[in-house]
Amino acid sequence: MAVCGRIFEIVSRRCNDNQLVVTIPNIGPRSIQRLCINITPLRKSHDLRQFHKLFLGHDTDIEELFYMAFKDEGDNIIVVDNISKTFPGGVKALVDFSTKIHRGEVVVIIGPSGSGKSTFLRCLNGLEEIDSGTIEIDGIPLDDNKNNRLEIRKEVGMVFQLFNLFPHLTVLENINLALRRVRKKSKEEAIRTSMNLLEKVGIAEKVDNYPSQLSGGQQQRVAIARALAMMPKIMLFDEATSALDPEMIGEVLDVMKKLAREGMTMVCVTHEMGFAREVSDRVIFMEAGRIVEVGTAKHFFTDPNEERTKLFLSQIL
């Protein structure tokens, strides 16, 4: 508790101190809260002196600090242990893949085409069956138990590259459907929730339109609202902006950033490094079904360790 208070004090002082330039895009109550949550594990696994040195040194980067704090045990909402997935054709999409993701963490996954990024996301909500290993979502094991599976599907929202809106339903009905059928909400309540969400993603005026009457960016924002309607604890984004015209990418990223700032746990497959830099806590670079390198977005921009990472980044940046 004492350490927590002390850190809090330092953080607030440093943030208020105009003399020191602290280069973090979104330092705010949430970041501080997160930092405090993760003090316990930090103390357990890291030398506190190292921590202080990092923090008090002039070139200290708080982003880096958060990364350290997040690296180990904590309030893990996603625990993936040693999973493998081989497709019928013999393609090894995931090989002994392990990672832990904290509540409220924003993870960006990058990697070349065919490296297993989508497969990893799809395993997290059971869209793809794993061959071995275990996945736990907020304490619930993703196994053959139907109830567990349903619980996980309710807790994990997913946004697809090609939106996958229901073309025969209006925008409102698209969002309403799961609220009515799965959450068993009354009609009025479902409409109220849907309208709030549509307002949040900025297309409240399109409620009665059909998906085909919307632009790509608008469709993707409806898809995000649709997933949010289930009030998920985790949101998965699989190249949510890849199918969009350049001028529409921004509006979708803005919604995603807003979500991240509100503390949503997010796992995003994206090549938008600007997004990664602005809101992500951790970037995972994978290749051929394996994790090659993990670090902050800044780390990837400035000094990636692996040659393969450098090569990949030089291609996409």
Partner 1 sequence: MVESRHSISRGLWRKIHKSPLFDITQFVLLIVLILWFFARSTEQLGYNWQWYQVPRYIFQMTEDGIQFGPLWEGLMITFRISAISLVLSLVIGLTTALLRLSHSFVAKTIARVYLELIRNTPLLIQLFFIYFVLGPVLGLSRFPSAVLALSLFEGAYASEIFRAGIVSIRRGQWEAAYSLGLSLFDTYKDIVLPQAIRRILPPLTSQAISLIKDSALVSTIAIYDLTMQAQAVIAETFLTFELWFTVAGMYLIVTATLSIIVNIMENRFKMVT
Ligand X SMILES: Nc1ncnc2c1ncn2[C@@H]1O[C@H](COP(=O)(O)OP(=O)(O)OP(=O)(O)O)[C@@H](O)[C@H]1O
Interface residues with Mg ion (CB under 5 A) are: 118
Candidate residues 178, 203, 252, 297; the one interacting with partner 1 per rule CB under 8 A: 178
Measured distance CA(272)–CA(235) in Å, rounded: 17
Phi, psi (degrees; rounded to nearest 5) at 171: -55, -45
Nearer to Mg ion, 238 or 281 (CB): 238
Using left for φ > 0, alpha for ψ between -120 and 50, and beta otherwise, residue 293 falls in beta
**With binding defined as CB under 8 A, does residue 33 bind partner 1?**
no
Touching ligand X, residues 70-89 (CB under 6 A): 87, 89
For 144-200, give the DSSP string.
S-HHHHHHHHHHEEEE-TT----TTS-HHHHHHHHHHHTS---HHHHHHHHHHHHHH
120 touches partner 1 by CB under 8 A: no
Does 127 contact partner 1 by CB under 8 A? yes
**What DSSP character marks residue 4?**
H
Q: Is 28 in the site for ligand X (CB under 6 A)?
A: no
Buried b (16+ CB within 10 A) or exposed e, 147-177: ebbeebbbbbbbbbbebebeeeebbbbbbbb
- Asked if residue 87 binds partner 1 (CB under 8 A), the reply is no
Query: Which of partner 1, ligand X, Mg ion, none sits in contact with 165, Cβ below 5 to 8 A by type?
Result: partner 1
Establish if 104 lies at the interface with ligand X (CB under 6 A): no
Least Cβ distance, residue 291 to Mg ion (angstroms) = 16
Residue with tokens 């997913």: 158
Residue with Cβ nearer ligand X (27 or 159): 159
Q: Are 275 and 268 in contact (CB under 8 A)?
A: yes
The residues that touch ligand X, with contacts defined as CB under 6 A, are 87, 89, 91, 93, 111, 113-119
The residues that touch partner 1, with contacts defined as CB under 8 A, are 125-127, 150, 153-154, 156-158, 160, 162, 164-168, 177-178, 181-182, 210, 212-213, 223, 226-227, 230
